[in-house]
Amino acid sequence: MSRYVRGMEIRPLHTERIAQVTGTASANRTGERFAIEATDLGLLWDAGDGRVFVLFGDTFGAGWGGHGAGPGNADWRSNVLAWSTGRDLSAGLSLDGVVERSGGGATQVIPSARREVTVIPNGAITVGGVHYVHYMSVREWGRPGHWRTNHAGIAVSTDDGRSWDRPRSARWKNRDGDNRFQIGAFALGDGPDGEWVHLFGTTNGRHDVPYLARLPRADPANVRACEYWNGDGWGRDERDAAPVATDRWARCPWATIRGSGCG
């Protein structure tokens, strides 16, 4: 499938499976080492200390059903955090460790809240030694490709990923189900954009186009200071956010912002 971003066609040319990352059959032996038999997709980002963090979504351990999610009593955690120091990916991505719970095995790092089915990470970045994760609070699942969120937000860790806060002030509420930043991916700018952390976002589900916002690099969790690209410039009203691509995005990809060419 091709995508069009600011007049440029972007399409995949070639993909190749190298190795299984998680599961009992993986070289990482995550079932045995970390109580990870199956996971949702993982987010990778530079932790800033020579490691790459890998944050997985819904994760299951002993008793996993063998296909897809569940059952809920199979040591279900909404998210778990692993890391890698590997630089040679020719044989796959090695996982060196996880944030562990008492007694062993990967623990859930971003806490769950009331009235949510699960809390799933979407994108992550490290700025100034502090880790930031864009997450979504899932209210209910619908038909394939559709779900409803309570809100999206930014979780923050200042202790090397061991614990995470979910500030109420760092949220995008989704009362009407159409907030444009319920799924998001971060990108650091450079040049004139170096003072900002950019955020690509879209609505809950896999059926909308992407939008663009920016947060102050000095405080990326300051959602009140967020600015939104409206097609002509930056403004504070998120309802004016304009699409930055013409195709629907199932997930927001990572990108690098260079110069001042966001518009």
What average pLDDT does the segment 52-79 reach?
95
Q: What is the mean pLDDT of residues 228-247?
A: 93
pLDDT at 7: 54
Looking at the domain assignment, is residue 253 inside a domain?
A: yes
Q: What residue numbers bound the domain in which 212 lies?
A: 116-163+175-263
- Percent of the chain past pLDDT 90, that is, above it, reads 80
Which residue in 182, 206, 180, 184 sits closest to 197, CA to CA? 184
Higher-confidence residue of 260 and 233: namely: 233
Burial state string for 49-65 with b = 16 or more CB within 10 A and e = fewer than 16? eebbbbbbbbbbbeebe
Which pLDDT band holds residue 248 (cuts at 50, 70, 90)?
low
Residue 81 has pLDDT above 50, yes or no: yes
Domain shared by 91 and 180, yes or no: no
Shared domain check, 127 and 225: yes
For residues 109 and 253, give the distance between their C-alpha atoms in angstroms, rounded to a whole number. Answer: 23
pLDDT at residue 262 is higher than 70: no
Give the chain's domain count.
2
What's the distance, CA 118 to chain centroid? 14
Average pLDDT, the chain: 90
By CB atoms closer than 10 A (0-12, 13-18, 19+), residue 252 is buried
Q: Which pLDDT does position 135 carry in this prediction?
A: 98
Same domain, 188 and 70: no
130 and 152: one domain?
yes
15, part of any domain: no
Residues 6+ apart with CB under 8 A from 175: none
Residue 238 pLDDT greater than 50, yes or no: yes
Shared-domain flag, residues 145 and 47: no
| Dist. CA 155–CA 96, nearest whole Å | 23
| CB contact set of 140 (below 8 Å; sequence gap of 6+) | 117, 147, 148
User: Of the given ranges (31-40, 106-115, 186-195, 219-228), which has the lowest mean pLDDT?
Assistant: 186-195
- Give me the count of residues in the chain: 263
Report pLDDT for 29. Answer: 97
Asked if residue 13 is part of any domain, the answer here is no
- Could you tell me if 209 and 246 are in contact, meaning their C-beta atoms sit under 8 angstroms apart? yes
pTM above 0.95, yes or no: no
**Backbone torsions φ then ψ of 215, nearest 5 degrees:** -120, 150
Do residue 226 and residue 151 come from a single domain? yes
**pLDDT classification of 28: cutoffs 50, 70, 90:** very high
Higher pLDDT, 180 or 12: 180
How far is Cα of residue 109 from the mean position of the Cα atoms in its chain?
Answer: 14
Separation CA 64–CA 59 (nearest Å) = 9
Average pLDDT score over residue span 69-90: 95
- Amino acid 194: pLDDT: 87
The span from the CA of 124 to the CA of 184, in Å, is 9
Is residue 245, in this structure, part of any structural domain at all? yes
The whole-number pLDDT of residue 249 equals 59
